[in-house]
Amino acid sequence: MPARNGKRICVRVNAATWVLIAAVVGSAMTFIDGSAVNVALPIVQRDLHATSTQMQWVVEGYSLFLAALILLGGSLGDLYGRRRMFVAGIVLFGAASLACGLAPNIVLLIVARCVQGAGAALAMPESLALISANFSGEARGKAIGTWSGFASITAALGPVLGGWLAQHASWRYVFFINLPLALIVLAIALTRVPESRDEEFAPHLDLAGAVLATLGLGALTYGFIEAQGATNTRALVAVALGASLLGAFVWVEKRAVQPMMPLALFRSRAFAAANLYTFGLYAAIGGALYFLPFALIDAQGYSPTAAGAALLPFVVLQFGFARWSGGLMGRIGARIPLLAGALIAAVAFSLFALPGLGGTYWNTYFPAALVLGVGGVLFVAPLTTTVLDAVATERSGIASGINNAVARTAGLLAVAAFGIVFAHFAPAGTATHNPLQQLAGFRAVMWVTAALCALSALLALAIPPRVAERAAAKAAPATS
5 pLDDT above the threshold of 60: no
pTM of the model: 0.86
Local structure of residue 266 (DSSP, 8 states):
G
3-state secondary structure of 144: helix
- The pLDDT tens digits of the residues spanning 406-433 come to 988 999 999 999 999 998 887 765 445 6
How far apart are the C-alpha atoms of 46 and 289, rounded to whole Å?
19
How far apart are the C-alpha atoms of 449 and 345, rounded to whole Å?
9
**Taking the CB of residue 104, how many other CB atoms lie within 10 A of it?**
8
How far apart are the C-alpha atoms of 447 and 449, rounded to whole Å?
5
Q: Confidence class of residue 464 from pLDDT cuts 50, 70 and 90?
A: confident
- The pLDDT tens digits of the residues spanning 40-90 come to 999 999 999 998 889 999 999 999 999 999 888 888 888 888 899 999 999
Cα-flanking dihedrals φ and ψ of residue 7, to 5°? -110, 140
Task: Give the per-residue pLDDT at 129.
Answer: 83
How far apart are the C-alpha atoms of 369 and 347, rounded to whole Å?
11
Out of 3.40.718.10, 3.30.470.30, 3.90.480.20, 1.20.1250.20, select the CATH number for domain 14-193. 1.20.1250.20
The H-assigned helical ranges of 169-268 are: 173-176, 178-192, 207-226, 233-255
3-state secondary structure of 303: coil
Which of 210-224, 309-323, 430-444 has maximum average pLDDT?
Answer: 210-224
CATH homologous superfamily for 261-480?
MFS general substrate transporter like domains (1.20.1250.20)
Cα-based angle 80, 83, 89 (whole degrees, multiple of 5): 90
The H-assigned helical ranges of 1-51 are: 15-48
- The pLDDT tens digits of the residues spanning 383-410 come to 877 887 787 766 766 887 888 889 889 9
